[in-house]
Amino acid sequence: MAEHTLDLFSRELGGAGRPLVLLHGLLGSGRNWQSAGAGLAEVGGGRAVRALDLRNHGKSPWSERMDYDALLGDVLAWLESKTEGPVDLMGHSMGGKVAMALACRRPERVGRLVVVDIAPKAYLSHGHRAEFAAMNELRLSELRSRGEAELKMEGRVPDWGMRKFLTTNLEQDEAGAWRWMVNLPVLTAALPALEANPLGAGEGFPGPALFLRGGRSRYVEDADLPEIRGRFPAARIETIAAAGHNPHMETRAEFCALVGGFLGGVVVA
């Protein structure tokens, strides 16, 4: 566990009752959950939906340390200061790895676990090396707009949607100069740690779990399913055929319906 935890920024996305805590992926923030989170706020008698910004992302503090023990420590500290008893916990991609690790190591804090398009394994071949190279190559002092940043990234990042996503991390200061909202140098150096499997030998979670994968994504393959079932024996595994790596944004209605059913209620439109 991290020795020094950071005070994470959180967004209230609606609802009341048992907390549903949402964790974003690498280079994301709690903003990624706003639409899906609002759709889940009235599930199962009511959920107090809260989306966290993880360290070195969004509006949360920065730190030189960036590994799963530190991320887990921050989230656990937030839970212990803001909630009582178990919460429902959902994480996407890197946030899904944090959620898995927290459920395995502190199962009394997690009622139901939802993991979105990630598996308990290392992702060395799936890394974000090209995206990080493109971000690091941008000369922010010469940048005039997000659109210009997208064009400059095109050689390394051909996918238009990914370029749009990356540039959501750009903001202007009061003088109009562009800067990154994420701690880019630390995240770049931390890639090997973040690509690793966050779970140790024998770690698992016996409670209710839902693993959602995108049918057009390669992050959770059929070969990964035995490992998921071995570590999470009560897990349901569902595939959203039309979704890629971001089903909560790409196929919101189907995503919310599946998660709502798992949490024990119907999504209120």
pLDDT in tens, 172-196: 999 999 999 999 999 999 999 999 9
Same domain? 232 vs 141? no
- pLDDT for 22 equals 98
pLDDT band for position 266 (cuts 50, 70, 90) = very low
CATH number of the domain that residue 229 is part of: 3.40.50.1820
The reply to whether 105 and 42 lie within a common domain is yes
Distance CA 45, CA 142 (A): 51
Q: Per the domain annotation, does 88 fall within a domain? A: yes
Whether the predicted pLDDT of 264 surpasses 90: no
Are 80 and 20 within one domain?
Answer: yes
- Residue 239, in any domain of the structure: yes
pLDDT at 128 over 50: yes
Confidence of residue 268 (pLDDT cuts 50, 70, 90): very low
Whether residue 30 sits in one domain with residue 110: yes
What residues make up the domain containing 183?
126-189
Question: 137: pLDDT confidence band, cut at 50, 70 and 90?
Answer: very high
**pTM for this model (two decimals):** 0.94
Strands (E), 58-109: 87-92
Do 115 and 205 belong to one domain? Answer: yes
Q: Is residue 5 part of a domain?
A: no
19 and 107 in a single domain? The answer is yes
Q: At which of 165, 189, 213 does a domain end?
A: 189
50-97 confidence digits (pLDDT tens): 999 999 999 999 999 999 999 999 999 999 999 998 999 999 999 999
**3-state DSSP call for residue 92?**
strand
Question: Is residue 80, in this structure, part of any structural domain at all?
Answer: yes
**What is the pLDDT, as a whole number, of residue 1?**
46
Domain boundary among 156, 189, 222: 189
Per-residue pLDDT at 47 = 83
Same domain, 157 and 36: no
Same-domain status, 166 and 69? no
pLDDT in tens, 231-259: 999 999 999 999 999 999 999 999 999 99
Q: Which of 173, 189, 205 is the last residue of a domain?
A: 189
The count of structural domains within the chain is 2
The verdict on residue 216 lying in a domain is yes
Residue 127 clears pLDDT 70, i.e. is over it: no
Residues 247 and 206 in one domain: yes
Whether residue 1 is contained in a domain is answered as: no
Whether 148 and 209 map to the same domain: the answer is: no
Q: Is residue 2 situated within a structural domain?
A: no
Residue 210 contacts by C-beta under 8 Å, 6 or more apart in sequence? Answer: 112, 113, 114, 115, 235, 236, 237, 238, 258, 259, 262
Q: How many residues does the chain have?
A: 269
- Looking at the structure, tell me whether residues 178 and 259 fall in a common domain: no
Q: Please, are residues 267 and 257 in contact by the beta-carbon 8 Å criterion?
A: yes
Q: Please indicate, yes or no, if residue 269 is contained in any of the structural domains.
A: no
Q: Is the pLDDT of residue 113 over 60?
A: yes
- H or E segment to which residue 170 belongs: strand 170-172
Question: Rounded mean pLDDT of the chain?
Answer: 93
| Torsion sign across C-alpha atoms 220, 224, 229, 230 | negative
Residue 119 — left, alpha, or beta (φ > 0 → left; ψ -120 to 50 → alpha)? beta
29-63: burial string, b at 16+ Cβ within 10 Å, e else:
bbebbbebbbbbbbbbebbbbbbbbbbbbbebeeb
- Based on the fold, state whether residues 205 and 237 are members of the same structural domain: yes
What pLDDT sits at residue 125?
A: 62
